[in-house]
Amino acid sequence: MTKRDSHKDNIILFPGLDRRLMEKGLEHLQQKKYRDATHFFEQALKLDPVNGDIYIGLVLANFESGHLKEAKELAAEMLRKGIGDYIEIIDLYIMILVQLNEYDEIVSTIEALLEEREIPKEKLEHFSRMLHFSRRMAQGKGNEATQESLESEYEDERLSLFTYQDPKDQVLLAARLSKENIRPYLEEIKSYLASDEGHPFQKTMLLNILREQEYDREIDITKFARRKTVIPSNLPELQDMEGMQPTVAILRDELENRDPVLFENIKSLIERHNFLLYPFEPEPLGPAVWAAAYYHTAREYYGSEESVEEAAGIYGVSASDAEQAVLFIKSIEEISYPGI
């Protein structure tokens, strides 16, 4: 192992890492980088082995990458251990079984639910239809139309975007929409993107789906009290946005050799913030100001009492500008990690 590899292994010391790894996993899942997403979720699960959100992310990463057996085992493990919302996990488990064509297992699972009277009233019709179609398929009486009816059970509902507050639920929705023609939901999506409300994380995912599906009409998007009109098909991919790249370059020159662990953690923080800001660029305070602000914020996470003024001095920038940038970073962190 090289010295740099050893440093990267030590990044687990960063405060709140389990939550940060989960969100990195969600970002990579949305970007269809399933191997990376799986890695981040597995690392997060080691730190918090009963976290339902992390488990669901790992299930989805396996499901989307075609590792259906692994996804099934993980969902079954959640049910055995009582992790996550029971009905939500059952629904996810059945969705996987549909793709595996395991109709007998679907029938026995739903029949057990009905016997236990575990199904909420609003889900009863959904599970009853699933049971009917699965019985037909299990008995060899189904056909391609029956299979399509099973799969459409997860597609025929209104999005109700404003009800999705948890990043895990947002990614579940994005995973579903990425496989569908998004145009039937356009008006609802456009309203959500333009609203002052709504989570920036979900807005980025929806915008990326519109870009991938080459939607070429103008839409408005609002984030962090900023608003702009964009054509999704003309937007660059997230990794191609200039964003904080000049800031990362300054931090690399200053820290990569002196404190590589700190540098990697700051870089990770910036990448997550770029995801939340997309398609906006950071406020025009200058790369060195942002470098000072991120340096101060990361050091503060480690318990340092170094002032913003000292960080500003290191990077040769105005303390008031650095303070403004620090306040913005903290506002993003509050949105990024509700409840922490």
Name the residue with tokens 């059952």.
90
Half-sphere exposure of 178 (CA within 13 A, CB side): 18
Task: Give pTM, 2 decimals.
Answer: 0.67
List strand residue ranges (DSSP E) for 231-267, in order: none
pLDDT of residue 291: 96
* Contact indicator for 239, 30 with CB cutoff of 8 Å: no
Token pair of 208, please?
A: 């990326």
**Residue 4 pLDDT > 50, yes or no?**
no
pLDDT band at 227 (very low <50, low <70, confident <90, very high): very high
pLDDT at residue 279 greater than cutoff 90? yes
Question: By the 8 A CB rule, do 212 and 178 touch?
Answer: yes
| Cα 249–chain centre separation | 26
pLDDT in tens, 301-312: 888 888 999 999
For 141, phi and psi rounded to 5 degrees? Answer: -100, 0
Q: Give me the pLDDT at residue 127, please.
A: 85
| Residue type (1 letter), 172 | L
Question: Domains along the chain?
Answer: 162-235 (no CATH), 240-336 (1.10.472)
The encoded tokens of residue 274 equal 């770029």
- In angstroms, rounded to a whole number, what is the distance separating the alpha carbons of residues 114 and 262? 53
Backbone φ and ψ for 181, nearest 5 degrees, come out as -75, 115
Distance from C-alpha of 313 to C-alpha of 329, rounded to nearest angstrom: 19
Structure tokens at 11: 């990044």
Is residue 122 scored above 50 in pLDDT? Answer: yes
* pLDDT for position 7: 43
Distance CA 142, CA 133 (A): 7
For residue 176, give Cα distances in angstroms to 27, 95, 157, 312, 316: 15, 11, 11, 45, 47
